[in-house]
Structure 1
Amino acid sequence: MENTQPRRSSLTWKTLALAGLQMVAGSPLRNGTGINVAEKAQPRRGSADIDVASRQYVWKPSVGDSWQIVLSSPIKANSQTMSPDVKVWDLDLYDNDVSTFQALQNAGRKVVCYFSAGSYENYRDDAGQFKKADLGKVMDGWPDERWLDTRTANVRNIMKQRIAYAADKGCNAIDPDNVDGYGNDTGFKLKKADSVNYLKFLAKTAASYGMSIGLKNSAEIVGSVVDFIDFAVVEQCVQYSECDTYSPFIDNGKPVFHIEYPRGAPNKVSSTTANNICQSPDTDGFSTIMKKLSLDGWARLCGGQTYTTKTL
């Protein structure tokens, strides 16, 4: 059976998820859709050996950009009518095909490609490239995944290949998950400094392929990475009273894409629950949406509107 837990990488989330607790609050996009179809298109990327010096334009999202995230299954993309009508789409790198990304980009949208940069997934095509020494403990709640030693040259070479693959598919940015091994029982003695170093490697590699990069959760290292990370993707910061930790991104003109998983989603979310998110002073400037734990096509915005992106 498919695991329906959200892809939250922090230890606190995994502990609560295993206890079967559902999260409490939800919210919406603060600044409307604001799609500018005439916005300068990002150059198409080709193979990994393309001359990166020729890539002078790297798209970076802006504070307040509207967004949607769907990780449960591939979406049905139509360049004319997409629901919700938002600017940034965070989608699984492997589940969606090139035509999906192109349809979104032809309509002026931008594509952020999600993948795990800190875990071994036994079902991936590149699973056989990992060495025994790269693999740590099984991830709580994810029996098909094991923590990776992100310090090794082999792991970094594999992730460089994944980033090149994202570039080949036309992703505008990457959303690498599970980069907070320092806060989890990985089987390795990973420190915060190791995660910062790894993120510098990922950011440099992404930039060399013409893509920006986000920080997934990892509140403890925000101050160490905000200078070179382009945006944040944050889950349940209202639930954990940690939203203010991500304010340095807003202060530096970089967006925070924020998700809450409300009790009662999709049809029984109370107005009190939604208001607790939408009116939280610590989320000022955040691009906030409310989602189901499965991260399927359903989303609720702060104005109370609900949408369901069609999926395959």
Structure 2
Amino acid sequence: MLRRLAIGALLLVLAGCADSAAVPPPVDTASTQPRSGSGWVPEQGTAWQWQLSGTLDLTVDVPVYDVDGEKTSAEQVAELHSKGRRVICYVSVGSYEDFRPDQAQFPAAVLGKPMDGWPDERWLDIRQWDELKPLLAARFDQCKAKGFDAIEPDNVDGYRNDTGFPLSAGDQLTFNRRIAALAHERGLPVGLKNDLDQVAALQPDFDFAVNEECMRYDECEQLRPFLQAGKAVLHVEYDLAPEEFCAEARKLRMSSMRKPLDLGVDRQPC
């Protein structure tokens, strides 16, 4: 599932003054259009619900849901659509999960070390694209068949972790761009999950961003390429109270809320 990377040193830090925190109006209106051709992307500042555990609550009054692609049924997606909601499909693309129905299809050669704190997941060797592409394409096809409106691919920053493989930043850029193309080939917008050090390079390839705890770790400045392009940043904090980050999040035009770490039903929106 989700995890927080250990950060040894911050590359960029938010300044304490209002001028540095403010994001200027979008400068590239063409980049706000979905590369997928789907006709929809989440709007900057839109409210959202992110639920990956527990019984799915279909009653939250927000325009965007982000839910598990395998556990959520086509009927649930259709019900959310009937309420006027758009629905994002959560899929782990950089990790092997031993609880998924397709887990036996992953060859042993692509399986790396267990993920820190998540013993039922192992990192994948993202360099072995010929092995991984058909498996991930099938997952994206499932999202499309169920009627999802977009994809949130998770664990796309393995190169910064102890995966068991000598992954480079270049390996990660290549893999992430392939993932974006895989979604766009299916007409689905796609979000960049975390991977803050590569945001500037990857912003043109992704339609929105998903971030965990950039306020807690003073990393939100690194999301500026998405914000300046008018693209949504769907953001959660786990430990900070809303009064500690919501004013800044609204200033940056991020879609922010506090959630429990297990990403259950509860939410405290900004």
On whether the aligned pair clears a TM of 0.5, the verdict is: yes
C-alpha displacement at 1:157, in angstroms? 1.8
Task: Indicate the residue corresponding to 1:60 in structure 2.
Answer: 41
Q: Describe the SS at the equivalent of 2:122.
A: strand
Letter in 1 for 2:46: D
Task: Tell me, yes or no, if structure 1 residue 125 matches structure 2 residue 75.
Answer: no
Letter in 1 for 2:102: D
Task: Indicate the residue corresponding to 1:223 in structure 2.
Answer: 200
- In 2, Cα distance between equivalents of 1:229 and 1:56: 12
Match of 1:245 among 222, 227, 232: 222
C-alpha displacement at 1:281, in angstroms? 6.5
Q: Describe the SS at the equivalent of 1:279.
A: helix
1:233–1:187 Cα change, 3 Å: same
| Structure 1 residues 86-235: aligned runs within 5 Å | 86-152=62-128, 153-235=130-212
Letter in 2 for 1:300: Q
- In 1, Cα distance between equivalents of 2:165 and 2:250: 34
> What stretches of structure 1 of length at least 5 have no aligned partner?
1-5, 14-54, 264-272, 303-312
C-alpha displacement at 1:8, in angstroms? 2.5
C-alpha displacement at 1:151, in angstroms? 1.6
Task: Tell me, yes or no, if structure 1 residue 288 matches structure 2 residue 262.
Answer: no
1:231–1:251 Cα change, 3 Å: same
- In 2, Cα distance between equivalents of 1:76 and 1:282: 26
1:255–1:129 Cα change, 3 Å: same
C-alpha displacement at 1:274, in angstroms? 2.4
Deviations 1:101-157 (A, max 9, x none): 011112221100112101111121211111121011111111111100112111122
Are the equivalent residues in 2 in contact too, given 1:58–1:207 (CA < 8 A)? no
Letter in 2 for 1:207: H
Are the equivalent residues in 1 in contact too, given 2:98–2:120 (CA < 8 A)? yes
Moved more, 254-263 or 181-190: 254-263
Are the equivalent residues in 2 in contact too, given 1:292–1:298 (CA < 8 A)? yes
Are the equivalent residues in 1 in contact too, given 2:242–2:269 (CA < 8 A)? no
Q: Describe the SS at the equivalent of 2:181.
A: helix
TM-score between both structures, scaled by the size of structure 2 = 0.85
Of all paired residues, the percent bearing the same amino acid is 39
Where has structure 1 moved over 4 Å in runs of 4 or more?
Answer: none
1:158–1:9 Cα change, 3 Å: farther
Q: Describe the SS at the equivalent of 1:234.
A: strand
Are the equivalent residues in 2 in contact too, given 1:243–1:282 (CA < 8 A)? no
Q: Describe the SS at the equivalent of 1:254.
A: coil
Q: CA RMSD in A?
A: 1.9
Letter in 2 for 1:96: T
Letter in 1 for 2:114: V
Are the equivalent residues in 2 in contact too, given 1:9–1:217 (CA < 8 A)? no
TM-score between both structures, scaled by the size of structure 1 = 0.74
The count of corresponding residues between Structure 1 and Structure 2 is: 242
